[in-house]
Amino acid sequence: MARHWMRVGSIAAVLVVCLLVLASINLLRPDGTISKPFGVAVPEESHEHEQTNRPQDKQQDEAQQETPATDKLPNLDQLLDEQTKTSTPESTAGPTSGLAAEASPTTLSKAIVMGKLTREETDWVGEALPEWQNAIYVVDLPTNATSPTGLRTKINKSKEAMPYLTYIIDNYPANFPDLMVFLHSHRKGYPQAWHNDAKDYDAVNMLHDLRLDTVMERGYVNLRCVENPGCPDEIRPWRDPPNPEKLPEQIYPYVYADFFNLPLSEVRKQVEVVATPCCAQFAVSRAQILKRPKEEYERYRTYLEETTYDDDTIGRVLEYMWHIIFGREAVHCERASTCHCEVFGRCSSRSSNHGLRKGSGGG
Ligand SMILES: *[C@@H]1O[C@H](CO)[C@@H](O)[C@H](O)[C@H]1NC(C)=O
Ligand SMILES: *[C@@H]1O[C@H](CO)[C@@H](O)[C@H](O)[C@H]1NC(C)=O
Q: Residue 314 domain-assigned?
A: yes
Mutation test residue for ligand 2: of 141, 144, 146, 152, the one with most atoms within 8 Å of CB: 144
The reported pLDDT for the residue numbered 60 is: 36
Ligand 1 centroid – CA 116 distance (Å): 10
Question: Is the confidence at residue 103, as pLDDT, over 70?
Answer: no
The reported pLDDT for the residue numbered 151 is: 98
Residue 143 Cβ inside 6 Å of ligand 2? The answer reads no
Return d(Cα 139, Cα 155) in angstroms, integer: 7
Return d(Cα 51, Cα 65) in angstroms, integer: 18
Vertex 316, ends 315 and 318: CA angle to 5°?
A: 65
Q: Residue 98 domain-assigned?
A: no
**How many domains is the chain partitioned into structurally?**
1
Q: Residue 59 domain-assigned?
A: no
Mean pLDDT computed over 45-72: 38
Q: pTM (2 decimals)?
A: 0.71
The reported pLDDT for the residue numbered 167 is: 98
Return d(Cα 94, Cα 133) in angstroms, integer: 17
The residues with which 285 forms a beta bridge, in sequence order, are 179
The reported pLDDT for the residue numbered 352 is: 45
Task: Answer positive or negative: Cα dihedral of 66, 70, 74, 78.
Answer: positive
Nearest CA to ligand 1 atom 9: 140
For residue 145, which ligand has an atom nearest its CA?
A: 2
Nearest CA to ligand 1 atom 14: 140
Query: Which atom from ligand 2 is nearest to the alpha carbon of 145?
Result: 13
Ligand 2 centroid – CA 117 distance (Å): 19
Question: Is the confidence at residue 348, as pLDDT, over 60?
Answer: yes
The percent of residues above 90 in pLDDT, for the chain, comes to 65
Domain that holds residue 146: 105-349
Residue 144 Cβ inside 6 Å of ligand 2? The answer reads yes
Q: Residue 12 domain-assigned?
A: no
Query: Which atom from ligand 2 is nearest to the alpha carbon of 144?
Result: 1
Mean pLDDT rounded to a whole number for the chain? 78
The reported pLDDT for the residue numbered 11 is: 53
Query: Which atom from ligand 1 is nearest to the alpha carbon of 117?
Result: 1
Q: Which of 52, 78, 309, 313 is nearest to 195 (CA)?
A: 52
